[in-house]
Structure formats: structure tokens, C-alpha cells
A and B are shown apart, each in its own frame.
Chain A
Amino acid sequence: MIELAKRDAIKQKLATFGGEWVDLPTFLPAETVLELAGEALRSRLYFATAPDGRELCLRADLTIPAALHYIENHARENGKKTYLCSGKVFRANEISDYNAHEFRQMGIEHFGDKDEQNADVSLFLAINDACKSVNSSKFNYEFFDGGLIKTILKNAQIDDVWREFLLDTCYDLLSLKSRIEIATSEDKQKPSALAQSLVDVSNDEATEIVTEVLQIAKLKTHEARGAQEIAKRLKQKAMRANTKALNADFVKNFMAILEINDVPLKAIEKITIMAKKIGVDLSDWLAIWRDKFEKIDQDNAKFIAAKFGRFEYYDGFAFDIFSKDNERAIASGGRYNGLILQLSNGEFDICAVGAVIRPQILLGE
């Protein structure tokens, strides 16, 4: 149990950011959560069945219910809205020494603020102040940018064939590294005769050829993935086999970027210098991050180039705060500009940033 006085102290500090306290739904449609977070989260979710048979799950974080609440109640106004939230989230145990199946999170979810720079910094400072209000020890900070690797790959001087191949994995370090290995290999699998025959024809012609092959062989696809998608991918496979392997210098510099983990100003400068070597101008990005760090105390802070959020929806500024004696973050947050668009099926394109405090970890309870 968290001492009420301490919970109130955190609440008071969070309220200085502004916004209204909201009660978020505890049960969410399981489909929405799994579609967003993926099956990897399934083993940590608690499920229930609604009387009408729909599969529900207990919320595993506050961000998804807050985003859904915003879409339902405020997205049409298209303006700024800030929710202050406090409540339990439910996740099956992953780390053996932390046995709670339900634990409290307290946080801020801030939508539609176009002054992203100011919002990012203000949110971090509010969360940090709230943590400090109940725990006077020194914290460690890790900052990262959920959209950095994507930006670099989008602009790097590499063949478009490899760009597309690598961009698909830009939120997953393991997959990204495995694709770099494939892209650097000189020993490529020879494409099939059919795939090779599609390289020099238009996409429409390629689709026609594949349709004919499928008809002759009496093979079936289905609506979600038909001859067009198959032809496109066969073509891509053949093009990858025909394209020169990724340049060794690019790989060396790109891998060096992925390894950068240093004090913030040094790290972002190193990233910018290394990015320039692969043809990417990050000077605007550097200016934005420098400006952020002018307002944020960098004691015990690091910037990590290839840190990816627990949830893929972090697509910009992001951070974790740690206390010295716990490897679990006492607070985490970040920008998730694409989430509202995704959850509203493309209806609302509204920027957002949010963060939560985990009071049980913060207070060592």
C-alpha cells in the first residue's frame, strides 16, 4: 500500500502541470490492446469476457485508455487537452523479484499541444519534480528518441532497396541488426526465375504475371494479400538479390550510431557527426535536443541512440528515470504522435506526449 500522504504529494506536483483528473476505464477491448502492443504482451495481460461475448483485458498501462478516452470525448475539438491520471494497471509478473500483478501508475497524458518542444520539457520536469517530492535520493536518467533511427534510415545515402528493407525494422534492434547482416552479405540467394522476370516490368504487369501463374497452378491467396502484394514482394526479393551489398562504411558508421550511449550533449553531438558521414543532416534535430537539454539538468543523465521504448508507440522524445537501487524505471514517458491516428483508424492526427510514475518502485514498497 502506498502511503496516502505520499500519493497526495505526487498528485499535487502532477497537478502543477495543469489538466483535469480523469477516471479511465479499467477494462479495454482486448483486440485494440493486442493490435497495438502485439502478441508479446498477451502473456502479461489479464483477460475477461464481456456478457456479450467480447474479449476484454485489464488495462496494462494508462496511455492506451487515456488515448481512447481522448478520441471518444475530445479529439473532435482538435485542441489541447491534458489528463491527470492515477490508478492501478495490471500485468502478469515478468521479473521474479517484483511480484505485484497490479500496481499503481500516476501520470500525465497531454494531447494536441503543437508546441512540442515546450510540452516535452515541461512534462519531463513535472514528472521529475513529482518523483523528487517523495524521494530525495539521486536519480539516473536515460533519454532517447523513438524516431531517431527511422529519421536516419529515411535520409541515409543508401540504395532505396536497402532503405525499405531496413525501415521495416526500425523499432526493433534485433530485427534491424539481423537485416543489416542480410544486406551486407555478398552471398545472396539467387532469386527464382519468376521473381527475376518481374524486375524489369511495371508493377501492373508483374501483378498480371503472378495472377496468371496462380491461376495455372490453381493456387489461392485471399483478399488481404493477393497477386499485387505477392508480385511486389517477389520483385523486391529479386532486386535485393541483384543489388550491391550495403556499403561497409555505411554499416560501420550506422552500427557505431546504434552503440552511442553517453552523457546527453556529447551523445547527440556524436550522433550528428556520425550521421553526417552517412549523408544525414541532423543539425535541426541536434538544435532541438540541445535546446531541451538547456532546460533539463543533465546530472546522472545519458542519451542512448538505439534505446527503444517498451511500447512501439514512442516516436520522439522519450525518457526513463531510475532510482539507484532498482533496475525498474520509477517513471517513464515520451512522445507518441502516431498513437491517436492509429487508434482512431486514421480519423484524428493529433500529437501527444505522456508519462507515468510508478509510486511503488519510487517509494521502494
Chain B
Amino acid sequence: MKKIILALPSKGRLKEQCEEWLKKRNLVLKQSNDRNYSAYIDGKDDIEIRLLSSSEIAKGLLSGEIHAGITGEDLVREQSSNSYELVDLVAGLGFGRADVVIGVPDGWIDVENMADLNEVAQEMRKFSGRRLKIATKYTRLTASYFEKHNIRDYRIIYSGGATEGAPSNGIADAIVDITSTGSTLIANNLKMLDDGLILQSQACLFVSKVIKFDAKRKKLLQEIIG
């Protein structure tokens, strides 16, 4: 039987919000128990549900292994420079909002925007011989945004977690990370730049463009998309 593979976040608030969103489309997610990662849609044998981490969903959509899925836009854009060709963003779902932003030490009172940051990077390289260090897991989004602002004198330091602490721990000078309220940035003595918003992300329904859907699958997809 030809199925549509729909991937959903495997746990947490995001999973609950996805369930609510599906319910509004008369699609009820069933799971034998909360700790089990296999699930199905009640009465819909032709929709195969995969409960995965958000980044696995992004990866699967981009490779075509997953036909449709709900995940953060930040993860999809980060994982491929070609994402606009590989997936369709069908709808922003209004939850899981998070902005990918640049955070610099709040004591840098001379730095208000990207042009200032560029000057600081150039000066740092000129006087200390080293590049401005940016801690982030968003290496691709950072590189592309910095290129847009013609900032060249920087280095990315990969940070898989607790990124906001990187400047105070001496690992980096500034960060690129997600924030929803900005409170973690403030708690770590960081501030955002006037034009330092890289991406306004939220949970989105994506459909992979890598595989061609036949008529039956298209109909099934339509039921999900609504």
C-alpha cells in the first residue's frame, strides 16, 4: 500500500501542539503509551507516522525519506543551503516560535548593529591577529547572514548547547542562537543587535519536493494540509 510518511516531533510541548493541530483536521494521533515512539492516525492506515527529533525530521524532509513533517523552519534552513528547492513550506503553524538572533555582550555599548559588529571584527583582527569568534550551532545561517552584511573577519565556534554562556566562559565573543523571549540572552549579559534578527522561525508543515507524489499520495497529503 502506498503510504504518506508524516513525521512529528517525538515529545514535549511541540508534540502536544502538533496533536492539537492534527485534531483540528479530524486526525487523531494514537500511541500505545507515552514512551513508545510508534504512533498512528486513528482510521488512517495510509498515513505512516514517524515520531522523531525535530532535526531528524528536517533531515528526512530534505532527503525525501519523509514526505511531510512538522519541524522548526530554523532547522530546515540550517541543514541545507538548497532548502527552498528541496522542501515546500506549506504553512506556519503559529507555535514553536523562536527567533535566530545575534547576541553580543551587553557591555559592548558601541555596538548597535551589524555594521558596528563588522568594524569590531576588523579591529579585533587588526590588533589581536585573531578573528571575532561566534559560538553557534547555526553555522550555515550565520555564514549566509554575515556574508549578506559583508562581515568576513569572523570564525564560527560550533556550540551544541548552552551557547548563551559561550562569551562569559571565554569560548567566543558573540553568539548566534534561538530565543523566544530574550530572557536567556539577558540573563547571560547579552543583547541583540538592531538588525541582528537572522530568521523568525516557528513550527511549520513542510512537504518534501525530492520525491514525486502520485495521485493517491497527493490526495492524502491534501487531507493533512487541509
| A interface residue numbers (CB < 8 A to B) | 34-35, 38-40, 42-43, 168-169, 172, 174-175, 178, 194-195, 210, 213-214, 219-225, 227, 229-230, 233-234, 237, 342, 345-346
Contacts and interface: CB of A to CB of B under 8 A. Distances in A.
Contact of B139 (A42, A168, A175): A42
Interface residues of B, number: 36
Chain A residues touching B, majority SS? helix
Contacts of A210: 109
Residue of B146, B155, B170 with most chain A CB atoms under a 10 A cut-off: B155
B168 A220 contact: yes
Given A175-B152, A195-B110, 13 more contacts: A34-B156, A35-B131, A35-B155, A38-B152, A38-B155, A40-B152, A219-B105, A219-B107, A220-B106, A223-B170, A224-B128, A225-B108, A237-B110
Given A233-B119, A237-B110, A38 B170 contact: no
A140 B110 CA distance: 48
14 contacts: A40-B152, A168-B126, A174-B150, A175-B150, A219-B107, A219-B109, A220-B106, A221-B107, A222-B105, A225-B105, A229-B123, A230-B107, A230-B109, A234-B109
A230 B108 contact: yes
Contacts of A346: 129
A233 B168 contact: no
Contacts of B118: 175
Contacts of B119: 168, 233
Contacts, number: 89
Nearest to B133: A224
B108 A43 contact: no
Nearest to B122: A168
| Residue among B107, B120, B123, B127 facing the most chain A CB atoms (10 A cut-off) | B107
A230 B110 contact: yes
Interface string B121-137: 01110111111000000
A206 to B, nearest CB: 11
Given A42-B139, A225-B120, A225-B124, A220 B170 contact: no
B173 interface: yes
A227 B124 CA distance: 14
Contacts of A34: 155-156
Contact of B123 (A168, A172, A223, A345): A168
Contact of A219 (B106, B127, B128, B146): B106
Contact of A233 (B120, B128, B140): B120
A238 to B, nearest CB: 10
